[in-house]
Amino acid sequence: MKLLYFAWLRTRTGVGEEEIERPEGVETVQDLVEWLRKRGPEFAEAFANMKVVRAAVNQTYVQLEHPLAEGDEIAFFPPVTGG
Amino acid sequence: MKLLYFAWLRTRTGVGEEEIERPEGVETVQDLVEWLRKRGPEFAEAFANMKVVRAAVNQTYVQLEHPLAEGDEIAFFPPVTGG
Amino acid sequence: MIRVQTEDFDVGAELAALSTDDHSIGGVTSFVGYVRDLAGSASVSAMTLEHYPGMTEKMLGDIEAEAQRRWPLAASLIIHRYGRLVPGDRIVLVACASAHRQASFEACNFLIDWLKTKAPFWKQEQTPDGPRWVDARAGDDIAARRWQPPESSS
Amino acid sequence: MIRVQTEDFDVGAELAALSTDDHSIGGVTSFVGYVRDLAGSASVSAMTLEHYPGMTEKMLGDIEAEAQRRWPLAASLIIHRYGRLVPGDRIVLVACASAHRQASFEACNFLIDWLKTKAPFWKQEQTPDGPRWVDARAGDDIAARRWQPPESSS
């Protein structure tokens, strides 16, 4: 799976983009978030409040219950502030 | 008084602009319209239906009851179609 | 700012001038009106826009001042042409600059609605059957009525 | 049409291109967004606009297609910049051309409201206290919610 982080999710985790194997038991975006939180304090802090984190799978906004498949592109980012 | 006619009020009456002395008994715009109607068939036709005629006195929209004074600039025109 | 003129205008230059040096402006909404070649069923080859010199400038100035009262605008501009125009020509430009986009949208929409119902311009179209004065559209009056203060709509 | 780019754009040329040769167009409504130098209380010297390449183009295309479904538009255009910008710089251009002005107004307003709440762009401001990610404004969400179809607003 390809993981992308934007804006302060990128600067807080220190990661912009990474490829990972789908971890065992990670079936949904929510599962992935819980897995990421255990990776270290930067990730735990960045994903502490999911009210200010948006998720997209294959470039489409999804809810946390969205199922994941091998080969998915999963992005995390704050509410948008363009325009 | 200065009288101005625009758009089809100008083309139907054949007059764009004229200076007249205020006729006796003409106290309001309505009085002036009635006086103009008696001027000839072009004027009678142009002012037949006041629902499609707007009046302005000194460059401000007015109702037909608006009083007239010596020196006024009175304009008649159809509903506007600009922009 | 108000301009009534026969010449065309440069939209990009006008909009740039509206926001120059004022970095509190977050957005500029503008509307450009064009001469269409569809007027009912007849094909329009050209049109002449007549206006009431003096009253036009007065009314546009009044309408712009009213928009400035109703919305927090940093700048506004109305340019209206008159004279001979052909399909595809620009007729009117309305632009409103504000710190926030919704104020600029509403003020621009207000100005063009009023302008279409109140500003003393009249279109005469050249059609294959000869010149014809364009009738006012009832829809324009309804659009302008949205903006009336409650006490004056009766 | 959709463009995501670092370069500035020429508003006059873009608007002219939108209406060229289509004389059924009666009006073009456009919105130009600028970088403001007022962000809360801090003074902004510059900002960097980050985006999600790929998703940005997809979302702008989807939003434009939705506007085309909802309103009878002859043409539409969204240009959004990213990268480093300073106060006074243009960020975004949205323009909608239609036979009638109200359709062009509503579609343009709809597009900018959606863009502000859905398009994946993030502003990082350079302030005297260092770089700072801009927080989303609740007002933008409320503005976008106006346009939801009734069945999806709960």
Cβ of residue C108 closer than 8 Å to a chain D Cβ: yes
Domains: count for chain C: 1
| CATH (domain of B62) | 3.10.20.30
Contacts of C147 (CB under 8 A, 6+ apart): C110, C113, C114
Residue C40 in domain: yes
pLDDT (tens place) for every residue of chain C, 154 residues total: 999 999 999 999 999 999 888 888 999 999 999 998 765 555 778 899 999 999 999 999 999 999 999 999 999 999 999 999 998 999 999 999 999 999 999 999 999 999 988 899 999 988 888 899 988 776 666 777 777 764 443 3
Q: Which residues pair with D30 in a beta bridge?
A: C30, D95
Tell me if A41 is assigned to some domain: yes
Say if C15 is an interface residue toward chain D (CB within 8 Å). Answer: yes
Q: Does C43 touch chain D (CB under 8 A)?
A: no
Q: Does the pLDDT of residue D78 top 90, yes or no?
A: yes
Q: Residue B67 carries which DSSP code?
A: B
Taking the alpha carbons of A10, A15, A21, A24 in that order, is the dihedral positive or negative? negative
- The CA distance from D115 to the nearest CA of chain A, in Å, is 7
Is residue D150 a part of any domain in this protein? no
Of all residues in chain B, the one with the smallest CA distance to C53 is: B59
Q: Which residues of D touch C101 (CB under 8 A)?
A: 31, 33, 112, 116
Closest residue in chain C to residue B73, using alpha carbons only:
C55
- Residue D28: its chain C contacts at CB < 8 A? 31-32, 34
Nearest chain C Cα distance for residue D104, angstroms? 9
CB C30 within 8 A of CB C94: yes
Give the minimum alpha-carbon distance from D129 to chain C in angstroms, rounded to a whole number.
20
Cα gap D146→D149, rounded to integer Å: 9
**CA dist., res. C23 & res. C19, Å (int):** 8
The range of the structural domain enclosing residue C49 comes to: 2-145
Contact B82 C92 (CB under 8 A): yes
* In a domain? residue B39: yes
Spatial neighbors of B58 by CB under 8 A, at least 6 apart, are B72, B73
**Would residue C74 count as lying in a domain?**
yes
Cβ pair B80:C118 closer than 8 A: yes
Q: Is residue B28 part of a domain?
A: yes
C50–B7 CB contact, under 8 Å:
yes
Compute the count of residue pairs across chains C and D with CB atoms less than 8 Å apart. 107
> In this complex, do C80 and B82 lie within 8 Å of one another by their Cβ atoms?
yes
Q: Which residue of A has its CA nearest to D81?
A: A83
Mean pLDDT for D22-31 is 93
Closest-approach residue (CA) in chain D for C105: D109
Interface test with D, best of A9, A11, A73, A80 (most D CBs within 10 A): A80
| Residue D153 located in a structural domain | no
* Domain annotation covers residue B19: yes
Tell whether A59 is covered by a domain: yes
Confidence of residue D39 (pLDDT cuts 50, 70, 90): low
* pLDDT surpasses 70 at D29: yes
Is residue A82 domain-resident? no
Residues of chain C contacting D35 with CB distance shorter than 8 Å:
23
Tens digits of residue pLDDT in A20-63: 999 999 999 999 999 999 999 999 999 999 999 999 999 999 99
If one compares B2 and C45, the residue with the highest pLDDT of the two is B2
Provide the phi-psi class of C54: left if phi over 0, else alpha when psi is between -120 and 50, else beta.
Answer: left
Residue at C151 is within a domain: no
Q: What is the mean pLDDT of residues B43-47?
A: 96
Residue B82 lies in a domain: no
Residue C72 burial class via C-beta count within 10 angstroms: exposed 0-12, middle 13-18, buried 19 and up: exposed
DSSP for residue C6:
S
In a domain, B70, yes or no: yes
Cβ–Cβ of D123/A82 closer than 8 Å?
Answer: yes
Domain range for B60 is 2-77
Which of D76, D139, D154, B62 minimizes the C-alpha distance to A79? D139
- Interface chains of chain D (3 or more CB pairs under 8 Å): A, C
Q: Which long-range contacts (CB under 8 A, 24 or more apart) does D76-79 make?
A: D76/D1, D76/D18, D76/D107, D76/D111, D77/D1, D77/D3, D77/D14, D77/D18, D78/D1, D78/D2, D78/D3, D78/D111, D78/D115, D79/D2, D79/D3, D79/D4, D79/D5, D79/D9, D79/D14
CB A43 within 8 A of CB A82: no
Q: How far apart are CA B59 and CA D149, in angstroms?
A: 46
Residue D139: what pLDDT? 65
Structural domain count, chain B: 1
Quote the pLDDT of residue C138: 65
CATH number at residue C140: 3.90.1170.40
pLDDT at position C153? 38
Q: Is residue D83 part of a domain?
A: yes
This complex has an ipTM of: 0.88
Query: If DSSP codes are grouped into helix, strand and coil, which group holds residue B6?
Result: coil
